[in-house]
Amino acid sequence: MLSKGMVVCALVLGATAFAANAREFESKVEDNGDHYKYEYKDPLCEYKYEYNYKDGKQKLKRHGDCAHVAVPAAPQPTYVVPGPVIIQPRIDIR
């Protein structure tokens, strides 16, 4: 039979393990057309990624253990290339 002390100890250890796995985090995404920025922060990791659309430069900063962070990919700009303009003569049918 388990004593009260062992049960209390098991409950405290279980609650502590649960609290350690339930980390609070902050996540922020910014995309204003000139640059894309993603920031993530929790007690174990600080992650910052920036992409500049104008010059294509990227910046990445990581501190701590960030193996658990799933980072969204930066959107790539899509350029519209104008195609040929086709002008058809108008035919009047009367």
Cα end-to-end distance, the chain, whole Å? 103
Supply the range of the domain harboring residue 30.
25-76
Distance of alpha carbon 38 from alpha carbon 45, whole angstroms: 14
Please give the tally of structural domains in the chain. Answer: 1
Least trusted range by pLDDT, from 10-14, 20-24, 25-29, 42-46? 10-14
pLDDT digits 0-9 by tens, 28-57 = 989 888 888 999 999 989 999 998 888 888
Residues 6+ apart with CB under 8 A from 41: 25, 26, 27, 47
Residue 17 lies in a domain: no
Indicate the pTM of the whole model. 0.53
Residue 6 lies in a domain: no
Question: In whole angstroms, how large is the CA radius of gyration of the chain?
Answer: 27
Single out the residue of 73, 74, 50, 47 nearest to residue 62, CA to CA.
47
Residue 11 lies in a domain: no
Determine the pLDDT at residue 48: 92
